[in-house]
Amino acid sequence: MPQSLAVSPVVPGLAAGNIPVILPAVQGTLMKSTQTPEPLMGISSRTNVDRRDWNRMALALALSPWLTPAARAQSLSSAAGAAQGPRWQADPFSLGVASGQPQPGSVVLWTRLRITEADAALNSQSISVVCEVFADAALRQPVRQWRVQTDAARAHSVHVVASGLQAGRPYWYRFVCGSAISPVGRARTSPAANDAVDRLRIALASCQHYEQGYFSAHREMAQRDLDLVLFVGDYIYESSNPQYMLRKHEGGVPKQLDEYRDRHAQYKTDADLRACHAAHTWLMTWDDHEVVNDYANDLDRNFSDPKVFLRRRAAAYQAYFEHMPVRLGPDPAQPSQMRIHDRLAWGQLADVWTLDCRQYRNHQACPDPNRGGGRVVVGCDALADPARSMLGMAQEQWFTEGLTRSTRRWKLVAQSTQMSSSGVNTPLGRSAFTDGWDGYPQARARLLATVADAGLSNVVMLGGDVHMNVAAQLRVQANDERSPVVASEIVTTSITSRGLGEKLLAQIRDSNPDIVHARSDERGYTLLDVRPEGISAEFRTTSNPALAEGVFKAQAKLAIRSGLAGVHKEG
Ligand SMILES: [Fe+2]
């Protein structure tokens, strides 16, 4: 019988749009960062730089890791006392900067000091870092600054909840530590909860195997005018496939905290990925490869003792937190648990959920006893068990309650994988891949029945994981024309990870008339332009594998109209 972990402590502020209570594991830095911040200067209401100029300037600054000596001197004098800190031999900000989880008055700002051999003596010290926030790309209008302490226990990562900001506008930020100064990032606060916002531009992305290609999609995303990057999982990969190797992971398969830290740090050596973090505010959830392929709750594919596996999961979650602009780290009372699911309001235009499809799910049904995880099955009776859940019952209830109460125009649901069926009709019956939503059909039907029963017409599932672009209709009874379409689905292809072969994909298409578009042969990301009257989605792709100088084009454009569930191909 599958063992379910309880959802980690609910933080009411997250769902309500407030700054949450900070769990003690991250208290050291975050409490200091939010202690009576001292505003240096108010934001001018006359600030009105053209948005494209902001993008260009922010990106140019983000891509120049070291400022000129004059600019550095100016920065150090503005960050009072920072010059008293370490005199660095090598740039400690080589992993870049990032922002995430915006709220109307705040945003999470992140960096991690990467200490090299040349500065090894600093490894054992508590180090003071100043975070500066500006109202303009030229950094002439300081808004606030925070001084935080960091140390080796958190891999010298820094998370500042930059609060007291205005809603719905960009800010620029950087970190200063002794003689070193970080690249500049641009962050965006979300609009006020009641604002009649008329647009939300999102880049949806997932699955970036470092070895299988270059992160050129991030370069294009960095240069775009976006409100959010929505990353839905497989940010790192733990494993390798020697058949597809354009560049190489350092070290073996990570299992310990230091090994996960090194893997995350290696991914952030990619300049395009750093540029995309610096240019945009990200919302994130995870999938399996942030820990290990196909893990489910407390079980890995080797059927390891759950106690042993949960120690590995705790290490992976800790490293994830240390490298991401997210508000909450692992629960200090139960370090193998970390809340990633959340809801963000974008004015009155949209609610955006990020769901966790890994931490609380029931184990995969009908596993191969010699090799756990997901597999393709036919005739697995356990799939019919209504007690099985992809989200875990507590998260499922939290989500469906929020969904049915939502009064915002669009209900965008970011989660790890494809929700529409990808089963294939065979002479023995219909196949199901047990790691995806086809492995949790009762939970899927339950969610979609909730949408139908509540009469919601503007629910859009956003996913990744399957390394192909998919647009599909969602019905309570998949592929059954008598069952009305109740929601729409957009799944983005991978940034780099290799996709399914065309033969299998053709079988999937043939067996699933609900699929409007499916292609697995290209890599990329998806642009979403959300407006009150409709959503347009553009699959932006480059040929496989993604090359360093990859050029992107529109593979397909889709439209979803407000008030009418379903996705339609354009052109
Ligand atoms: Fe993936």
Residues with CB under 5 A from ligand 1 (ion): 207, 234, 497
Q: What is the pLDDT of residue 504?
A: 96
Q: Which amino acid is at 39?
A: P
User: Alpha helices, DSSP H only, in 268-425?
Assistant: 271-279, 306-323, 393-405
Give whole-number Cα distances, 377 to 77, 287, 300, 370, 374, in Å. 64, 22, 19, 15, 9
Write phi, then psi, for 362 (nearest 5 degrees).
-70, 155
CB contact at 8 A, 296 and 361? yes
pLDDT for the residue numbered 571: 73
Per-residue pLDDT of 269-280, as tens digits, reads 999 999 999 999
* Residue 21 pLDDT: 24
Q: Kindly state the percentage of the chain with pLDDT values over 70.
A: 85
Query: Given a cut of 50, is residue 185 above it in pLDDT?
Result: yes
Question: For residue 570, what pLDDT is reported?
Answer: 92
Looking at residues 39-48, what average pLDDT do you find? 26
- Whether the predicted pLDDT of 352 surpasses 90: yes
Of 302, 195, 209, 305, nearest to 248 by C-alpha is 209
Domains of the chain by range and CATH? 4-188 (2.60.40.380), 200-569 (3.60.21.70)
What does the pLDDT look like over 242-255, one tens digit per residue?
Answer: 999 999 999 999 99
To which residue do tokens 């007690």 refer? Answer: 387
pLDDT on residue 83? 54
- How many angstroms is it from 411 CA to the middle of ligand 1? 25
Residue 1 has pLDDT above 70, yes or no: no
Ligand 1 centre from 71 Cα, in Å?
41
The CA 531 to ligand 1 mean position distance, Å, reads 29
Cα 455 to middle of ligand 1, angstroms: 33
CA of 207 to the centre of ligand 1 (A): 4
Instruction: Please state the length of the chain.
Output: 571
CA of 425 to the centre of ligand 1 (A): 25
Whether pLDDT at 40 is above 90: no
Taking every pair of C-alpha atoms in the chain, what is the biggest distance, in angstroms? 74
CA of 259 to the centre of ligand 1 (A): 20
pLDDT mean over 310-331: 98
Mean pLDDT of the chain: 88
How far away, in angstroms, is 234 Cα from ligand 1 center? 5
Task: Report CA(265)–ligand 1 centroid distance (Å).
Answer: 19
What's the mean pLDDT in 350-378? 97
Return all residues near 43 (Cβ < 8 A) that are at least 6 apart.
135, 141, 143, 166, 169
Distance 206 CA to ligand 1 centre (A): 7
Give the tens place of pLDDT for each residue, 252-265: 999 999 999 999 99
Residue 69 above 50 pLDDT? no
The rounded distance, in Å, linking the Cα atoms of 308 and 298 is 9
Distance from the alpha carbon of residue 494 to the mean position of ligand 1, in angstroms? 7
pTM here is: 0.88
